[in-house]
Structure 1
Amino acid sequence: MLRNAFEDDIARIENGNFERSGMAGYLASVPTAPDDAMGPCERMSTPSRRPWPDLGPAWVWGASSSDSLGERLLGQRMLDLYRGSFDGERTEERIIPTARMCAALTRGADLLVLLLPSGGTSVLRHISMVGFTRGNTPEGPLQSLSGGDPLPSAVLMAPERLANPWLAAETLLHEGAHLKLFDALRAGAVTTTSGHLVPIPWRRSPWKLIRVLVALHFYAHMMVFEAAVEQAGAQVRREFGQPPAIGSVDEPSPGTEAAAAGTHRTSAERARYLAEYVLAMPAGCLTEDGHRFVQWLLSVLRLTMTEPPAGPVGGTPGEPPARNGVLSSPRELAPERAYDKVQPVEAFALPDLGQLVAVSPGTSRFHWLNAHSWMIYALCDGRPVGEVESAYARSLGLSAQSSRTREAVRRGIAELAAAGLVAGS
């Protein structure tokens, strides 16, 4: 609540309004806090429950108890922020959780951390409060949502999301990832055209570009989660039960293109659509941080998807592919021109995945090369493009005269040059 008030104050200052401070009013009304490590809002929630006490101070929003005017004001404001989180959508009043619901929530968090020790722990630390509610939205029944400006660091979910620990874990990852990105975006921008609208085949209304990036961030996490579920061992399945069928997500909204065609019903389909849209955007749509952010998401998708989004290796979405005077079109590469690795570059191999990770210390940008690009990168040792083509063809038993071989090699060199990993002389 104080964060919401603080950010409102910042907005007022930016608009030249210095007359009043919402945050000061809340601080004046907060009752004196005993030394119990709880905030005033958590203290009013009864009974007191923390779903993952070893990972952070998140608490579950229970029944409200207020003994003073200050507490009643805080309680009413929290309800106002709760209702404002639904953006005008009709919703029922919140649901007071039972002990059984809280235990199921903790069980879902335990499973999430077991499946994703680093990622699961990280997103849970961005959740300060979990509440329960039911409601309807224009796209169908409410499943879950994460607090943005109205109720920062809060997750609201329907009790049905606790039906089994796998579903609860997925929900916590979903909304926790949103909150983590939301927190990051308070310190920097990833788009220059946040109002740009993007058609979404599985939704009736287009999304703003920032929502596309937020969704792509979530689906990248989901691809990792689904891979972890598939690889869960017998002991995990004995403890938490058999996981439900993975891959499918909520149904496309009725009347949409996806609903009619029976498409975009999996995380992979949606991730691919969003990623390929971002890759095809015109120059200038993303900030420098936005380019790095999307490139990181693409590297995750390339590792987790059998058919990753089509796009350049190390290319920069939303920017022309030319870098340092090097054109990325394979038609621009003369067969007699020699290419060599740019130095310094640090690289380490992931042979089990058929990947090479290369990073230039000067930029700290990571580039994930698949086996195809890795081979071309290795062959760029000062020899001409024509010799790279011949060596590449010999290694794979292909014809060096094949137009497809020449196109593949030249495009690979062009993409490596655009990524700043090789340079021509």
Structure 2
Amino acid sequence: MTTPKDLIQQADRALVAHPSFGDTPRILARVITRYRFGLELFAERLPSLARTVTAIEALDDGEARRIFFDPLVRLALEQAFSDLETGRLQSPHPLEECLPAALAALPLGLSESRMPSRWLVGQDTPKWLWGAAQATDPYSLALQAAFDGVFGARPGSSGKLLSPDAEAQRRLNDAIELLTTLLPHSGVGALTHVEAIALLSARLEGGTVLSAAGGDLTPSTIFLAIRDLGNPWDIAGCILHEALHMKLFDATRSTALVAQPEETIQVPWRNIRWSIVRAVFSYHVYVHLALFKAAALSADDVLLRRFGDPSAYLSHAHATSVERKPGAPGYDRSIDRTRFLGQQLSTEWSHLLTPQGRDFVRWLNDSLEPVSRAVYGDAVRESPPPTVDLTAYRKTRGLRARASPRGECLMVFSPEAPRIHWLDLNAWLIFELSDGRTLPEMERAYLEVVGGRVDAAEARRQLRTGLDSLVRSTLVEPTRQQGEAT
């Protein structure tokens, strides 16, 4: 008889089996090969790098990773790729300074070698911890500036790095041990894509940050607020969450998942629209979190004695926590969000994905589905409750327009960005409906006009696509909108 534990183990293995999205050694090999090839091209335009590039080419992949996955080096490498594509790669370039320094810093990474104290966590692929001490070293200052760019650049945002200590090291080691015990394949694979961990205390848009991925400004780095994460189960879940972002960042360097990245979609647990890219990345995380929670629910007595019973910890339940407060509505659990995103990405939103993106969604869905049924029960098949969107839309002030009925178009001129926009009949209709109505009001009026020619679902999609385009063109602006939390 197949038990839920058997199904969890099968799903854990399935989530590292896909050659493009799950197999970490293959993904990392592609990333490292991309950087090696990039250096060959960069050296042709930056001759000062020739000797350094030759030396790096002689390194094995493990040594090369210490260079390529350093946050500052990787930032400079990605800038060089961008400069190469736009024809702007020329000396002086940040790569000319940091790449020789990174080679000289081996066997440490460049940024790690500048830390005021040396802290490592994890066993298989140890992660180094950022230090927060003030320093005059230019590389340490560059790391601090990158952090400030992530957590201090927007209004209402603030953050500070915290210095690691022995207690933080112990808690992180416990959480990593817990994660890799529960998910010895997918958990270990995700962690391999992380080079560094930074401890922080931060707020973004009025909400406390529990964890974050480094993104473009601080590559290879994840951020954790372990003071606000009350127990090893939640710390482990947040590490998995952010490590999965790092893994998918690496996978999508060579494979495009989204065909129309500019498109946005609506999810029922947020009152503002998401990009389709965010929906894909979120689905990847929620599938793994659902599996992590299923594994936590089936944890044996040895783990419970070692790390405590999750229900015994007093903490604020949230979407990535193991425990869920009784009676919490609709979409507060990862399994609820997973099912919604999987269904939508497989059907209504599938046209926004590439063939590889649709394969990605099928793989995630097929990997989790047996666990989803066995542990969480059958999914509710009825449509999700509609989200009340309070955003209203109006034409941007100061526009000038001239209609061409014979040409079946409207020309709109924006003095702020002096150019003429040509609106076809559909965009013209949406433009005229943008007179202060909310989205539901616009939908009703739009359906009255076009409902006889296309079905309601397609009409709503056309309206939202056209409205998003008008907003991006600054011809229409939202007048009332809620903030967004991650």
Instruction: Confirm whether residue 41 of structure 1 aligns to residue 111 of structure 2.
Output: yes
Matched, 1:183 2:255: no
Deviations 1:340-366 (A, max 9, x none): xxxxxxxxxxxxxxxxxxxxxxxxxxx
The residue aligned with 2:338 is 271
Give the number of the structure with larger relative contact order, counting CA–CA contacts within 8 Å between residues 6 or more apart. 2
Structure 1 residue 128 displacement after superposition: 0.6
**Alpha-carbon shift at residue 112 of structure 1 (Å):** 0.6
Q: What is the alpha-carbon distance in structure 2 between the residues aligned to residue 142 and residue 278 of structure 1?
A: 27
Shift of 1:25: 2.7
1: CA distance, partners of 2:208 / 2:134: 30
**Residue 97 of structure 2 is aligned with which of 5, 18, 25?**
25
CA apart distance, 1:310:
6.0
Deviation digits for residues 360-379 of structure 1 (CA, Å, limit 9, x no counterpart): xxxxxxxxxxxxxxxxxxxx
Alignment of 1:9 with 2:90, yes or no, is: no
Structure 2: runs of 5+ lacking an equivalent: 1-71, 321-327, 383-486
**Would you tell me which structure has more helix in proportion to its own residues?**
2
* Cα deviations by residue, 1:28-84 (Å, 9 ceiling, x for unpaired): 555833x6x2112112223211101x3113101124476xxxx71111111122222
**Aligned residue in 2 for 1:51:** 121
| Match of residue 147, structure 2, among 75, 79, 82 | 82
SS in structure 1 at match of 2:222 = strand
Is residue 2:361 matched to residue 1:291?
Answer: no
Q: Identity, % of aligned pairs?
A: 27
> What displacement does 1:206 show?
1.4
Does the Cα contact within 8 Å between 1:161 and 1:168 map onto a contact in 2?
no
- Alignment map for 1:181-330 (pairs within 5 Å): 181-244=248-311, 249-250=318-319, 262-281=329-348, 284-305=351-372, 306-308=377-379
Distance 1:180 1:84, change over 3 A: same
CA distance in 1, matches of 2:152, 2:271: 17
1:159 to 217, 221, 226: 226
- Cα distance change on mapping 1:288 and 1:3 into 2, 3 Å: same
Asked whether the 8 Å contact 2:151–2:159 carries over to 1, the reply is no
Conserved 8 A contact 1:104-1:162 = no
TM-score by length of structure 1 reads 0.64
Q: How many angstroms apart in 1 are the aligned matches of 2:251 and 2:296?
A: 27
Distance 1:51 1:282, change over 3 A: closer
3-state SS, counterpart of residue 130 of structure 1: strand
Q: Which runs of 4+ in 1 moved over 6 A?
A: none
Change (3 A) 1:295 1:47: same
Q: Which residue of 2 aligns with 1:321?
A: none
Q: Give the CA RMSD over aligned residues.
A: 2.6
Superposed CA deviations along residues 302-332 of structure 1, whole A, max 9, x for unmatched, are: 1222234869xxxxxxxxxxxxxxxxxxxxx
Instruction: Please list, as runs of the form range in 1=range in 2, the aligned pairs for 1:46-125 lying within 5 A after superposition.
Output: 46-52=116-122, 54-64=123-133, 72-86=137-151, 88-89=153-154, 90-125=157-192
- Distance in 1, Cα, partners of 2:145 & 2:308: 39
Shift of 1:223: 1.0
Unmatched segments (≥5 aa) in structure 1: 252-260, 312-425
Cα distance in structure 1, aligned partners of 2:265 and 2:381: 18
Q: What residue number does 1:347 align with?
A: none
| 1:56 to 1:278, Cα distance in 2 relative to 1, 3 A | same
